Amino acid sequence: MNASREARLADYAALIRKWNPAINLVSPASLDQLEKRHIADSAQLARLRPDPQGRWLDIGSGGGLPGLVVAIYHPNLPVMLVDSDRRKVAFLQTAIRQLGLENCTATAARVEQLPAADASNLSARALAPLDRLMPYLERHLAQDGTAWLMKGRNWQTELSAARMSWHFDVESHPSSTDPEAAILQISNIRHG
């Protein structure tokens, strides 16, 4: 692994551990598995999209998963993190500054109120069921953009529900951190 990437990932993990007792960035029960579960989970996007172009938008970023990890893997890629919780955004802004991630910004906003982002890539993890995410994708993705949605074990049910109202192309990638979870790669979204 690239040395500055490795150092930044270690510094990021240390910052989450420091702030977590105050603002619950990840569930306390999963803090022991921060690297193996949360960070490795997020790093899968760097493998699935090894050479992203344009702007990357991460919605409901929380402690920066997966968006801040994407920004660490791609230090020349513009990455926008958005979360409605101001305390989490204060954490993200501190992490961005301390890790020296000049490519990354964090904004406190509800995604519904964000101006259309024209993003080439959009990610979300543990934010909302797929049918509630679809309007955000429609609004914030560029016409040829791709969404990367990190979904839990219910992903097939969520997919069927979203298909009742939306048309889109989808590819499901099994998650390497949980064989029953999936990363949904979604593009070409049209209202049904």
Binding residues: 60, 65, 111-112, 125
Residues 77 and 153: their CA atoms lie apart, in Å, by 30
CB under 6 A: which stretch of 4-12, 49-57, 104-112, 164-172 binds ligand SAM?
104-112
Q: DSSP assignment, residue 179?
A: T
Phi, then psi, of 113 in degrees rounded to 5: -100, 0
The verdict on 62 binding ligand SAM (CB under 6 A) reads: yes
The verdict on 82 binding ligand SAM (CB under 6 A) reads: yes
Q: Which of residues 3-32 bind ligand SAM (CB under 6 A)?
A: 26
Q: How far is the CB of 7 from ligand SAM (least distance, A)?
A: 22
Q: How far is the CB of 41 from ligand SAM (least distance, A)?
A: 8
Task: Report the largest interatomic distance among the alpha carbons of the chain, rounded to a whole angstrom.
Answer: 47
- For 112-176, the three-class secondary structure string (H helix, E strand, C coil) is HHCCCCCEEEEEEECCCCHHHHHHHHHHHEEEEEEEEEEECCCHHHHHHHHHCCEEEEEEEEECC
Binding residues for S-adenosyl-L-methionine: 60, 65, 111-112, 125
The verdict on 35 binding ligand SAM (CB under 6 A) reads: no
The verdict on 88 binding ligand SAM (CB under 6 A) reads: yes
Phi, then psi, of 107 in degrees rounded to 5: -125, 135
Q: Which is nearer to ligand SAM, 17 or 110 (CB)?
A: 110
Give SS3 for 114: coil
Q: How far is the CB of 114 from ligand SAM (least distance, A)?
A: 8
Q: How many residues sit in the footprint of ligand SAM (CB under 6 A)?
A: 18
Give SS3 for 151: strand
Q: Which is nearer to ligand SAM, 2 or 21 (CB)?
A: 21
The verdict on 111 binding ligand SAM (CB under 6 A) reads: yes
Tokens representing 16 are 């989450």
Q: DSSP assignment, residue 117?
A: -
Which residues here bind ligand SAM, judged by CB under 6 A? 26, 59-63, 65, 82-85, 88, 110-112, 125-127
